[in-house]
């Protein structure tokens, strides 16, 4: 038939109908069998009751209005319009239309594919829309009071709006041209009053998803922007956008494997408002950014990569894997940040309860901030300046790092790099531990309780460094100080040192100990003088910039003996220090494990009796007469104590030093050191209020007086604090020349022996070598002086009874004194010893006397 028209007041049932024209039916209800209706024209059915279309096909349109509509399949050459206002709504299989598809019902459930050459629109009041498969050339619009489920693919735009939940996948491919010639960009907009779960969300241009509750996208892409908002939480995984990604949630945000490429257009943003829905607005080009904003929860992310900026802001914590930005990266957390990596053009990580990252890489500036926790970074690389402020800070490794500000408010700060490390300003409540393994360390300003600074393979530059307690600074090469370095104890070790004009190390009255060491291990240690040296050198001007109660300058050494061909390990040249450098009771110590040689004039001025200069070596201590001298002076003359400690101590000319080194005995040494090699000085080379020498082999001072007579001899001068020798054993030789400078004039010659102590007490046998002398007089027998040692006795009997009192050393060489074999004396009735009534100059040889009954 050409046309078929059915009109019935009751139910109408058609098993099969075919028409070359239209099929029209109006009945209380309508049904057709599986063979259904086939027309070359339109199918138009209207019924207040149920409609069952079976398998219906029309060359034109299909328009059905009923209480409910069910079908197996519908094929239309043009438009399909289905409307069902009953509770059962529309339920069917597939639809294929040559034009638009419009579905309106209380609920819609389609299981088969829905395809068309134009657009798809589905509307429900009170119910759900579930279209398992839809793929149309035009646009898709689905609006439901209930849930929306299914798969929606459009050649134009896709819009899904639900008053409940949405669980779907959707793609808006764009490019469709409607009847008005308008080209669809390919925008996907999804909004729901409750949850949104998209297993795929793709759009040629914009993707906008908004949920009143939780919002989730698992997989998808946007040619330009993505906006994802959740009333509670938001989750985004496996998503790529050509321009911006923005995720907002009142609760937590989960983001993983998301990327912005920068390949999309930039100049517009997608926005959402509950009143008007989604809108695209023009905006200034700002790069392909990612923004994660959680106003009431946490952000958990991994493998988040933005071609532009990446911003994460969480009310609580931020955790997860890597966050990377081609532009700026900024993560801000109300709690802690704990991630595996952060990279960006600039990087800013701020976590109230702490910041922890395995790796941070910044092509610009870096900010690491925590107001109530710690900063802990595994590896840090920053081309620009770094600001780190937290309760405590730890950076385990880094490249070249420049901290504009390093602040640990309650704890420690530890930064270690393999490149250069620079700190412009540092404030550390605890210990500042700053180290460079492969480059230089520069600290312009630092305050800390304690500090450990190390440049293991490079130089160190220090400006103003103030520690409350201990500073330990070590540099492989040069240590340069340009400001004030202060602390209770300071220890500096380096391959060389430079203390710039205007700089200072230590503080009088505050620094208890200051140690400055040659830590390079190569070349000698030079102390004093001017100019440069081939070794570690602290010059005279730099020495005057040291302040502390106990100042120590240390150098390595070989332990060489006096006169050996081995060069000295520490060379002391001209310098002057004052009491202001040492403070009350302070001391300066020069120490080496090897040989020390004094070749310049050393003056410590303004000293008190409590001040001291200590020279300690493990090898030999040589003061070169005519070149070197040591003077401790105060009000009115020599004041302060000069303490010398070495295996051997010698004050002599080089020729005399060589002679002593090869001498066969103490008498030979005395004879040589009595000679003046042309260096004449009444004060001698050592001048101090008190002189103490601790030796394990010998203490030698050459005569610098105008003659060799005992009263003319000079060499050292000591004051009221005395002259003391601490000898390690009975074989220690003492051959010294000198005077005491007292208020009544100098004490010279034999009279000085009464002023000498050994081990703090008057000399006694068994303490030192028996041939030891002071000004040519035997220390253990003051009555015997050089002229007597040289006098030949004309007493008839010249046999040697015992060599015990001779002058001798380890070699057994001695001097035989004139000894009478028989001396007659009366006996002391109390002691059994002879009585002496007349003045005598000697009492004979006590070794030949034994009390009665012995």
Q: Using one digit for the tens of pLDDT, what is the confidence trace for 6-19?
A: 999 999 999 999 99
- pLDDT tens for 716-731 read 999 999 999 999 999 9
Q: Is 785 helix (H, G, I), strand (E, B) or coil?
A: strand
Give the pLDDT of residue 786.
64
Q: Cβ neighbours of residue 383 under 8 Å, at least 6 residues apart?
A: 362, 363, 364
| Beta strands in 117-195, from DSSP E residues, in sequence order | 120-124, 129-136, 140-144, 148-154, 158-162, 166-172, 188-192
Is 159 a domain residue?
no
- pLDDT tens for 498-549 read 999 999 999 988 999 999 999 976 679 999 999 999 889 999 999 999 999 9
118, 141 contact by CB (below 8 A)? no
Give the pLDDT of residue 787.
57
Give the pLDDT of residue 742.
82
Give the total number of structural domains in the chain: 1
Sign (positive or negative) of CA dihedral 669, 670, 674, 675? negative
Is 652 a domain residue?
yes
Summarize the confidence of residues 804-821 as an average pLDDT.
39
Six-digit token string for 319: 């955790």
Of the listed ranges 25-34, 83-92, 391-400, 595-604, the least confidently predicted one is 25-34
Is 763 a domain residue?
yes
Cα 342–chain centre separation: 18
User: Cα-atom radius of gyration of the chain, to the nearest Å?
Assistant: 51
Element (H, E) at 541: helix 540-543
| Pairwise CA distance, residues 330 & 638, whole Å | 68
Residue 120 has pLDDT above 60, yes or no: yes
| Pairwise CA distance, residues 343 & 329, whole Å | 7
Is 714 a domain residue?
yes
Sign (positive or negative) of CA dihedral 688, 690, 696, 701? positive
Give the pLDDT of residue 850.
36
581, 602 contact by CB (below 8 A)? no
pLDDT confidence band for 800 (50 / 70 / 90): very low
Residue bearing tokens 């960009």: 185
Q: Which domain holds residue 688?
A: 587-778
| Pairwise CA distance, residues 214 & 297, whole Å | 13
Is 426 a domain residue?
no
53, 32 contact by CB (below 8 A)? yes
In angstroms, what CA-CA distances link 370 with 315, 350, 351, 642?
Answer: 14, 6, 5, 54
Element (H, E) at 787: helix 786-790
407, 392 contact by CB (below 8 A)? no
| Pairwise CA distance, residues 770 & 751, whole Å | 19
Give the pLDDT of residue 560.
73
- pLDDT tens for 67-79 read 999 999 999 999 9
Summarize the confidence of residues 721-747 as an average pLDDT.
95
Six-digit token string for 231: 């009333």
Sign (positive or negative) of CA dihedral 607, 611, 617, 622? positive
Write out 562-583 in H/E/C secondary structure: CCCCCCCCEEECCEEEEHHHHC
Give the pLDDT of residue 820.
42
Nearest Cα neighbor of 328 from 280, 293, 286 is: 286
Give the pLDDT of residue 145.
97
Is 636 a domain residue?
yes
Tell me which long-range contacts 410-418 makes (C-beta under 8 A, separation of at least 24).
411/374, 413/388, 413/448, 417/380
- pLDDT tens for 282-323 read 999 889 999 999 999 999 999 999 999 999 999 999 999 999
Q: Is 473 helix (H, G, I), strand (E, B) or coil?
A: strand
Summarize the confidence of residues 162-185 as an average pLDDT.
96
Six-digit token string for 229: 């908002």
- pLDDT tens for 200-255 read 999 999 999 999 999 999 999 999 999 999 999 999 999 999 999 999 999 999 99
Residue 854 has pLDDT above 70, yes or no: no
Summarize the confidence of residues 758-787 as an average pLDDT.
93
Opening angle at CA 560, ends 558 and 565, nearest 5: 115
Summarize the confidence of residues 684-695 as an average pLDDT.
98
Of 558-562, 807-811, 816-820, give the range with the top mean pLDDT: 558-562
pLDDT confidence band for 809 (50 / 70 / 90): very low
Share above pLDDT 90 across residues of the chain, in percent, rounded to a whole number: 86
Angle at which helices 666-673 and 654-662 cross, to 10°: 170
Give the pLDDT of residue 744.
83
Summarize the confidence of residues 152-159 as an average pLDDT.
98
150, 130 contact by CB (below 8 A)? yes
Per DSSP, helices labelled H in 620-745 are 654-662, 666-673
In angstroms, what CA-CA distances link 10 with 71, 89, 419?
Answer: 20, 21, 93
- pLDDT tens for 322-359 read 999 999 999 999 999 999 999 999 999 999 999 999 99
Give the pLDDT of residue 450.
98
Q: Cβ neighbours of residue 270 under 8 Å, at least 6 residues apart?
A: 187, 206, 207, 208, 225, 226, 227, 278, 279, 280, 281
Higher-confidence residue: 510 or 744? 510
Is 681 a domain residue?
yes
Summarize the confidence of residues 60-85 as an average pLDDT.
97
Give the pLDDT of residue 812.
37
Residue 712 has pLDDT above 60, yes or no: yes
Residue 646 has pLDDT above 90, yes or no: yes
Give the pLDDT of residue 98.
97
Q: Cβ neighbours of residue 796 under 8 Å, at least 6 residues apart?
A: none
Give the pLDDT of residue 34.
78
- pLDDT tens for 474-489 read 999 999 999 999 999 9
Beta bridge partners of 601: 629
Q: Cβ neighbours of residue 560 under 8 Å, at least 6 residues apart?
A: 566, 568, 569, 594, 595, 619, 620
Per DSSP, helices labelled H in 631-749 are 654-662, 666-673
Six-digit token string for 501: 């004009």
Residue 792 has pLDDT above 80, yes or no: no
What is the per-residue DSSP string for 680-692?
--SS-SEEEEEEE
Sign (positive or negative) of CA dihedral 788, 792, 794, 797? positive
Residue 766 has pLDDT above 50, yes or no: yes
Sign (positive or negative) of CA dihedral 741, 747, 749, 751? negative
Nearest Cα neighbor of 784 from 822, 816, 826, 745 is: 816
416, 393 contact by CB (below 8 A)? no
49, 88 contact by CB (below 8 A)? no
Higher-confidence residue: 305 or 823? 305
In angstroms, what CA-CA distances link 212 with 129, 164, 230?
Answer: 18, 9, 6
Residue 806 has pLDDT above 70, yes or no: no
Give the pLDDT of residue 484.
98
Residue 851 has pLDDT above 80, yes or no: no
User: How does 51-80 read in b/e, with b if 16+ C-beta sit within 10 Å?
Assistant: bbbbbbbbbbbbbbbbbbbbbbbbbbbbbb
Nearest Cα neighbor of 515 from 493, 482, 537, 541 is: 493
Could you tell me what percentage of the chain is helix, strand and coil, using 3-state DSSP and rounding each to the nearest 5?
5, 55, 40
Element (H, E) at 78: none
Residue bearing tokens 């790529």: 240
Residue 795 has pLDDT above 60, yes or no: no
Give the pLDDT of residue 197.
98
Is 235 a domain residue?
no
Sign (positive or negative) of CA dihedral 633, 635, 638, 639? negative
Sign (positive or negative) of CA dihedral 790, 794, 799, 802? negative
């Amino acid at each position: 038939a050409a046309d078929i028209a059915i009109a019935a007041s009751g139910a109408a049932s058609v098993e099969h109908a075919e028409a070359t024209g239209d099929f029209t039916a109006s009945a209380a209800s309508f049904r057709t069998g599986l063979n259904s209706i086939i027309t070359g024209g339109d199918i138009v059915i209207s019924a207040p009751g149920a409609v069952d279309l079976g398998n219906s096909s029309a060359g034109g349109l299909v328009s059905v209005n009923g209480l409910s509509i069910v079908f197996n399949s519908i094929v239309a050459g043009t438009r399909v319009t289905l409307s069902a206002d009953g509770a059962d709504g529309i339920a069917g299989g597939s639809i294929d239309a040559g034009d638009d598809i419009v579905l309106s019902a209380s609920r819609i459930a389609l299981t088969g594919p829905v395809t068309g050459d134009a657009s798809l629109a589905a509307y429900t009041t009170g119910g759900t829309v579930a279209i398992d498969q839809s793929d149309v050339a035009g646009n898709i619009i689905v609006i439901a009071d209930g849930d929306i489920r299914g798969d929606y693919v459009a050649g134009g735009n896709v819009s899904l709006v639900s008053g409940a939940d949405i669980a779907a996948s959707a793609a808006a491919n764009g490019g469709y041209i409607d009847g008005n010639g308008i080209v669809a960009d390919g925008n996907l907009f999804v909004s729901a009053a409750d949850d949104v779960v998209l297993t795929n969300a793709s759009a040629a241009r914009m993707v906008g998803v908004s949920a009143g509750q939780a919002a989730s996208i698992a997989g998808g892409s946007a040619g330009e922007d993505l906006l994802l908002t959740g009333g509670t939480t938001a989750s985004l995984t496996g998503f790529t956008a050509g321009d911006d990604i923005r995720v907002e949630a009142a609760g937590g945000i989960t983001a993983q494997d998301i990327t912005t490429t920068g390949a999309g257009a930039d100049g517009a943003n997608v926005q959402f408002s509950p009143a008007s829905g989604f809108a695209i607005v023009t905006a200034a080009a700002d790069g392909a950014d990612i923004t994660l904003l959680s106003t009431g929860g946490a952000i958990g992310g991994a493998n988040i990569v933005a071609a532009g900026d990446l911003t994460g802001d969480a009310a609580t914590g931020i955790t997860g894997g890597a966050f990377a930005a081609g532009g700026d990266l900024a993560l801000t957390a109300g709690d802690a940040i704990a991630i595996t990596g952060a990279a960006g053009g600039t990087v800013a990580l701020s976590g109230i309860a702490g910041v922890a990252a395995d790796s941070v890489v910044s092509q610009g500036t870096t900010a690491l901030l925590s107001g109530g926790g710690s900063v802990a970074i595994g590896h840090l690389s920053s081309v620009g300046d770094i600001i780190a402020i937290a309760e405590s800070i730890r950076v385990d490794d880094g490249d070249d790092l420049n901290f504009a500000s390093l602040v640990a408010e309650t704890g420690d700060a530890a930064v270690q790099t393999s490149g250069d490390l620079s700190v412009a300003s540092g404030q550390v409540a605890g210990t500042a531990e700053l180290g460079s393994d492969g480059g230089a360390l520069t600290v312009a300003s630092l305050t800390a309780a304690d500090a450990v600074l190390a440049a293991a393979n490079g130089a160190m530059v220090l400006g103003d460094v103030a520690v409350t307690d201990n500073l330990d600074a070590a540099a492989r090469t040069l240590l340069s100080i340009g400001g004030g370095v202060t602390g209770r104890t300071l220890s500096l070790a380096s391959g060389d040192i430079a203390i710039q004009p205007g700089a200072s190390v230590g503080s009088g009255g505050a620094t208890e100990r200051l140690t400055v060491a040659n830590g390079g291990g190569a070349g000698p240690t030079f102390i004093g003088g001017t100019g440069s040296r081939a070794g570690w050198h602290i010059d005279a001007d730099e020495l005057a910039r040291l302040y502390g109660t106990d100042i120590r300058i240390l150098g390595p050494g070989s332990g060489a003996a006096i006169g050996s061909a081995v060069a000295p390990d520490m060379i002391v040249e001209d310098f002057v220090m004052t009491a202001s450098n040492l403070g009350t009771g302070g001391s300066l110590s020069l120490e080496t494990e090897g040989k020390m040689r004094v070749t310049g004039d050393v003056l410590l001025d303004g000293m008190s009796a409590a001040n001291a200069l200590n020279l300690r070596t493990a090898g030999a201590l040589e003061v070169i007469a005519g070149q070197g001298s040591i003077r401790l002076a105060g009000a009115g003359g020599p004041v302060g104590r000069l303490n010398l400690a070495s295996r051997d101590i010698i004050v002599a000319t080089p020729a005399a030093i060589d002679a002593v080194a090869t001498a066969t005995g103490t008498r030979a040494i005395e004879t040589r050191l009595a000679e003046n090699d042309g260096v004449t000085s009444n004060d001698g080379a050592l001048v101090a209020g008190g002189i103490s020498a601790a030796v394990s082999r010998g203490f030698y001072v050459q005569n610098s007086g105008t003659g060799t007579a005992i009263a003319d001899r000079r060499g050292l001068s000591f004051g009221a604090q005395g002259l003391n020798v601490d000898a390690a054993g009975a074989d220690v030789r003492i051959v010294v020349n000198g005077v005491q400078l007292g208020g009544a004039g100098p004490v010279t010659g034999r009279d000085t022996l009464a002023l000498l102590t050994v081990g703090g007490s008057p000399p006694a046998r068994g303490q030192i070598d028996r041939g030891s002398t002071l000004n040519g007089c035997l220390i253990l027998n003051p009555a015997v002086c050089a002229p007597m040692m040289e006098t030949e006795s004309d007493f008839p009997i010249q046999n040697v009874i015992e060599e015990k009192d001779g002058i001798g050393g380890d070699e057994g060489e001695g001097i035989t004194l004139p000894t009478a074999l028989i001396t007659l004396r009366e006996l002391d009735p109390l002691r059994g010893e002879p009585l002496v009534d007349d003045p005598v100059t000697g009492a004979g040889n006590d070794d030949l006397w034994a009390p009665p009954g012995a």
